[in-house]
Amino acid sequence: MKGLVNISQVEGIDDEDDLGVEPIALSSPPPAQQFGHASNRDNDTEKRTQGLQNKVAMKLATFMDTIRQNLVAVQRFVEDLWLRQYGCAGDPDIARAYQVWPGNNVFFFHGRLICGPDPRGLLLTTVSIILSSWVFAMYSEDDLPHDSGLITAFSLILTVTVLVNLFLVSTMDPGIIPRNDGSSIEETAGTSDGTRRKRVTVNGVELKLKYCRICKFFRPPRSCHCAICDNCVEKFDHHCPWIGQCIALRNYRFYLTFIISALIFFVYVFAFSCWRIHQRMLRTGTGLLGMLKNSPETLALISFSSATILFLGGLTIFHVFLLARNQTGYENFRQRYTESQNPFDKGILSNIMEVLFKPLPPSRVDFRAEVMMPRR
* Residues known to be catalytic: 240
Q: At 265, give phi and psi (nearest 5°).
A: -60, -45
Residues 6+ apart with CB under 8 A from 238: 246, 247, 328, 329, 330, 333
Q: How far apart are the first and last CA of the chain?
A: 124
How far apart CA 182 and CA 37 sit, in angstroms, is: 93
Residues pairing with 224 in the sheet: 233
Does residue 249 contact residue 361 with C-beta atoms inside 8 Å?
yes
* CA dist list (Å): 372 to 29, 32, 37, 98: 90, 85, 80, 12
Q: Is 208 helix (H, G, I), strand (E, B) or coil?
A: strand
What's the one-letter identity of residue 69? Q
Does residue 202 contact residue 337 with C-beta atoms inside 8 Å?
no
Q: In the 8-state DSSP scheme, what is residue 356?
A: I
Q: Is 31 helix (H, G, I), strand (E, B) or coil?
A: helix
How far apart CA 228 and CA 117 sit, in angstroms, is: 8
Q: Could you tell me which of 169, 144, 292 has the C-alpha nearest to residue 237?
A: 169
Q: Provide the 10 A C-beta neighbour count for residue 201.
A: 9
Q: Provide the 10 A C-beta neighbour count for residue 204.
A: 8
